[in-house]
Chains A and B, each alone.
Chain A
Amino acid sequence: MAWTRKDLLSMRELDAGEITLLVDTAASLQEIASRDIKKVPALRGKTVVNLFYESSTRTRTSFEIAGKWLSADVINFSASGSSTSKGESFIDTAKNIAAMSPDVVVVRHSSAGAADLLARELSCSIVNAGDGAHEHPTQALLDLLTIREKKGHFEGLHVAIVGDIAHSRVARSDIHGMRKLGMTVTVAGPPTLIPPFVQELGAKVSYRLEDAIGDVDVIMMLRLQQERMTAGLIPSLREYSRYWGLTLDRLAKHARPDVLIMHPGPVNRGIELSPEVADGPYSVILDQVSRGVAVRMGVLLLLAGRKAGEAA
């Protein structure tokens, strides 16, 4: 199977074959991380621009390392402190960057649909590195790669995604990706953090942590943003962590002994995850981060390596 898309915008638009191709490609590139000289010439002469309108250390660094290991020229553009502070619009900034002929633009933006907008306006490849509460496809791909490594397969696995589903692009991308690969997904959190009609995306819903984690292979804990309290969605961090925080005690009582604990980061230690869980034997949180580089290498390779004329 060959990759034909110009852009990677969402998990929703991909089929199971495309997702598997992305995960397989990432898996094959993973050994570069253990080499003495971490460099292959695959994208020599290609230019990758990281266009980040939201602060992000992990994702931007991950894309930057991925591009550099593939020998691409990687340029980081952070919107804060550059032309946007002079009032230039998103579209104008993007068109200016496009005029410098990059091969791939990786975009992170607080507005849902920002990556789709760029893909429509620019002729280079666009990678969505997170757009508002919409999607974050490379995070879902690295989650999938991590799960397959640890569990050996996808089909039939059950994943609980716990926390602020309503505002989470990771949850949306994970639901789409996991469902397409034959997994069962339960989302869990207080009802104010569960978006309406989420069942129509193929997820089950639970309003009790103990129920949600009881019979699953993977628990994906999401970060709780502090501003959800002032918005009236939860009463207090204290109450949230009391009912929704994952502790060793809860795990031992309710979860399977072989369960995987995942988190897209950054972790609020002591709120959604107790430190003992985050650093404990169930946790594969750092494995996710290292798989992230492989996934982004795979994505850049498939997009930038796509021959002209293969455009979808």
Chain B
Amino acid sequence: MSLLIRGGRVIDPANNVDAVQDVLIEHGKITRLGRGLETPAGVEAVDAAGKIVCPGFIDMHVHLREPGQEYKETVATGTRAAAAGGFTAVCCMANTSPVNDNGAVTDYILAKARVEGLVRVYPIGAVTKNLSGQELAELAELAESGCVAFSDDGKCVMNAGLYRRAMEYTLPFGAPIISHAEDSTLSAGGSINEGVVSTELGLPGQPTAAEDVMVARDILLAELTGAHIHIAHASTAGTVRLLRDAKARGIRVTAEVTPHHLVLTEEAVRSWDANTKMAPPLRTKRDVEALIEGLADGTIDCIATDHAPHALSEKEGEYDHAAFGIVGLETAVAVVLDRLVRGGPLPLATLIARWSRDPARLLNLPGGTLSVGAPGDVTILDLDAETTVNPSRFHSRSRNTPFGGWALRGGPWMTIVGGAITKAAAR
């Protein structure tokens, strides 16, 4: 597919570009950048004046739920949600049913994505068979089949000896292991952060130490093995401190943070809305401040949604019985633009880097830049778009968001995958 994007402000952190330019995509790849480009015959042109043209955003942590839990989400609905939210690629976690712990399941997901996917789909394989934490999954075959990372996300591999072997075994594959850092003996039974809110509400809490203990362990194992460990959904000030220290010592550890952990605190739980329940739980203001600081200074490498669709019936009942997790693909960019960039602590170029260049680098994915020859994946932002989050209009099959009704300024305007427009602005 070919497309000319005219007159937008191009911000491409990988090339230190911030200038008004045209971007020409031909046959799915970026072929020219510059001012006043001619529109080649037969090529559609898009007027992006006043808009921000970025490398396609990559969400490296989503749950597409297929195969097995198609009532929550499918590759088709999840990638539509991704496109609507401004993402050109997603990485899908392995906790499907059956678990993506062998090449056949990876093949199935990729086949679905080829036929029904609206954005690029990169599967993440399981670390252990059936996420049981007992035996290694067939990691070499998973890598060969196209998995870009390995993770038992949703569960923590509690056996440090086995996790060390997983790190060593995957060294030749150049794909990181992604840690769901949660010591289950410390978090057991907890629905929310352990603190003043859990005490007042009488809900069992999970201490921040449940995360910090495992982040510390994984950093030590990364140091031992030389493996690249990526910490999923960092949520505590302690994690930020441990990451900063490990990076200073040259250990190969990276991390992501979710939009909800950047803008919400445990106070949101007082509503008793189970859409404030996720793993890790919403923490305190002090943790939020540390996460924002870590994201801005590069201690945290990227933003990822941990898009976790659940049916209404799994979220409407008693708080402690409700499922963990919220959807994020269709609100993430707007929430972060509105709350952290507009008049906030996060420079726009940093947000763009953390959502394109940095996830592409740490997973060795094509894209993440608008260099000539790169895939024609582009996210265009409209910083003035005013929206009110309306979950009933989500493309996702699920509606479990804490952001319903939020009025937000700024958001995705157009999503372009391989030169094809997959999402055009409403109106």
Name the residue on A nearest B191 (C-beta): A112
For A135, the chain B residues whose CB sits under 8 A away are 202
Q: Among the listed B194, B196, B319, which residue makes an inter-chain contact with A112, where contact means beta carbons less than 8 Å apart?
A: B319
Contacts known (A89-B313, A196-B195, A196-B196); A111 close to B201, Cβ less than 8 A: no
Name the residue on A nearest B316 (C-beta): A91
Instruction: Give me 27 A-to-B residue pairs in the complex whose CB atoms sit less than 8 angstroms apart, sorted by A's number.
Output: A12-B200, A90-B317, A91-B316, A112-B201, A112-B202, A112-B320, A113-B201, A113-B203, A114-B318, A117-B272, A117-B318, A120-B272, A131-B202, A132-B203, A133-B203, A134-B201, A135-B202, A172-B202, A195-B199, A196-B195, A196-B198, A196-B199, A197-B195, A197-B196, A198-B199, A200-B196, A201-B199
For B201, the chain A residues whose CB sits under 8 A away are 112-113, 134
Q: DSSP class of A's interface residues: helix, strand, loop or mixed?
A: mixed
| B64-123 residues at the A interface, CB under 8 angstroms | none
For A91, the chain B residues whose CB sits under 8 A away are 316-317
For B195, the chain A residues whose CB sits under 8 A away are 196-197
For B198, the chain A residues whose CB sits under 8 A away are 195-196
For B316, the chain A residues whose CB sits under 8 A away are 89, 91
Name the residue on A nearest B194 (C-beta): A196
Chain B residues touching A, range? 10 to 19
Nearest chain B CB to A10's CB is how many angstroms away? 9
A113 to B272, CA, bound (A): 6
Q: Are B200 and A172 in touch, CB under 8 angstroms?
A: yes
Chain A residues touching B, range? 20 to 34
Q: Are B313 and A116 in touch, CB under 8 angstroms?
A: no
Name the residue on B nearest A117 (C-beta): B272
For B317, the chain A residues whose CB sits under 8 A away are 89-91, 117
0/1 per residue, A92-130, Cβ < 8 Å to B?
000000000000000001011110110010000000000
A169 at the interface (CB under 8 A from B): yes
Q: Are A111 and B196 in touch, CB under 8 angstroms?
A: no
For B205, the chain A residues whose CB sits under 8 A away are 196
| B160-216 residues at the A interface, CB under 8 angstroms | 194-196, 198-205
A131 to B200, CA, bound (A): 12
Q: Are B196 and A134 in touch, CB under 8 angstroms?
A: no
A172 to B319, CA, bound (A): 18
Contacts known (A89-B313, A196-B205); A113 close to B319, Cβ less than 8 A: yes
* Further pairs besides A12-B200, A90-B318: 7, Cβ < 8 Å: A109-B318, A111-B319, A117-B318, A132-B202, A197-B196, A200-B196, A201-B200
A197 to B193, CA, bound (A): 12
A200 to B199, CA, bound (A): 9
Q: Are B199 and A113 in touch, CB under 8 angstroms?
A: no
B241 at the interface (CB under 8 A from A): no
A133 to B319, CA, bound (A): 13
For A197, the chain B residues whose CB sits under 8 A away are 195-196, 199
Q: Are B318 and A111 in touch, CB under 8 angstroms?
A: yes
A135 to B321, CA, bound (A): 18
Q: Are A113 and B318 in touch, CB under 8 angstroms?
A: yes
For A198, the chain B residues whose CB sits under 8 A away are 199
Q: Are B202 and A134 in touch, CB under 8 angstroms?
A: yes
A132 to B204, CA, bound (A): 10
A183 to B35, CA, bound (A): 74
For B202, the chain A residues whose CB sits under 8 A away are 112, 131-135, 169, 172
For B318, the chain A residues whose CB sits under 8 A away are 90, 109, 111, 113-114, 117
Nearest chain A CB to B184's CB is how many angstroms away? 14
For A89, the chain B residues whose CB sits under 8 A away are 313, 316-317
